[in-house]
A and B are shown apart, each in its own frame.
Chain A
Amino acid sequence: QKEVEQNSGPLSVPEGAIASLNCTYSDRGSQSFFWYRQYSGKSPELIMFIYSNGDKEDGRFTAQLNKASQYVSLLIRDSQPSDSATYLCAVRRPLRYGGSQGNLIFGKGTKLSVKP
């Protein structure tokens, strides 16, 4: 089982719809979770991070975390064509990894396409 898994997509949604991006992780001890957005040919940029179970909202973006199910998701409300990008889920290694605990493990990303 891969440490961080995402559906590769592409996920296609119409403009104005809600886009739902999902990520599962294998290490139950993971504590911190991140969503990055990467436009084609560009570098990843942070959208949100979440530590606690439940929802965290920032503008049109909502991150949801369920540690019992080892599942984190990103909802994008009122999707716009400018949201078309690859979305990377990243998980921080648990503390028991000692010196590498600052490292992030990335999923392969989900490509989102928002159609006008």
Chain B
Amino acid sequence: DAEITQSPRHKITETGRQVTLACHQTWNHNNMFWYRQDLGHGLRLIHYSYGVQDTNKGEVSDGYSVSRSNTEDLPLTLESAASSQTSVYFCASSEWTGADTQYFGPGTRLTVL
């Protein structure tokens, strides 16, 4: 069955370290998204991609970067982790821009000490 996976599921790191969170989908979806979810803020969009080599900033992109070299993967990199980036991160994908449904991965809980 097609699916979307994230790794690692849990990560503890230290302030200043570079961290990369992986997202892999097997639906062959064009669109992929990264969100963070924090108490009191709900889901906030970090970065998104509408296809290979396409990346765009979301509402909370500072300190994060993404690259899209193939359809299946959209890794999220924290260049220099900060305590404010402690959160739960969700990756999602959808088929095409006009389509409706975003399917979410299981999430990565990141703690920055």
Which residues of A come within 8 Å of B, CB atoms? 32, 34, 42-46, 49, 88, 90, 92, 99-104, 106-109
A109 touches B42 (CB 8 A): yes
The one of A43, A102, A104, A108 in contact with B41, judged by C-beta atoms closer than 8 angstroms, is A108
CB contacts under 8 Å to A, within B36-68, are 40-43, 45, 48, 50, 56, 58
**Distance between Cα atoms of A92 and B43 in the complex (Å):** 14
Contacts of B98 in A (CB 8 A): 102
Contacts of B48 in A (CB 8 A): 100, 102-103
The one of A43, A100, A103, A109 in contact with B104, judged by C-beta atoms closer than 8 angstroms, is A43
B100 touches A88 (CB 8 A): no
The one of A88, A100, A102, A106 in contact with B94, judged by C-beta atoms closer than 8 angstroms, is A102
B106 touches A44 (CB 8 A): no
* B31 CB within 8 Å of chain A: yes
A106 touches B42 (CB 8 A): yes
Which residues of B come within 8 Å of A, CB atoms? 31, 33, 40-43, 45, 48, 50, 56, 58, 90, 94, 96-107
Which of A90, A101, A102, A109 has most B Cβ within 10 Å? A102
Contacts of B97 in A (CB 8 A): 101-102
Name 8 A/B residue pairs within 8 A (Cβ), A-sorted.
Answer: A34-B100, A42-B106, A42-B107, A43-B104, A46-B103, A90-B102, A101-B97, A102-B97
Contacts of A49 in B (CB 8 A): 100-101
User: Other than the known A99-B56, A102-B48, A102-B97, what 18 A-B pairs have Cβ atoms closer than 8 Å?
Assistant: A34-B100, A34-B101, A42-B106, A42-B107, A43-B105, A43-B107, A44-B90, A44-B104, A88-B42, A100-B56, A101-B97, A102-B50, A102-B99, A103-B33, A103-B45, A103-B48, A107-B42, A108-B41
Contacts of A44 in B (CB 8 A): 43, 90, 104
Closest to B31 in A: A102
**Distance between Cα atoms of A102 and B33 in the complex (Å):** 10
A33 to chain B, nearest CB (A): 9
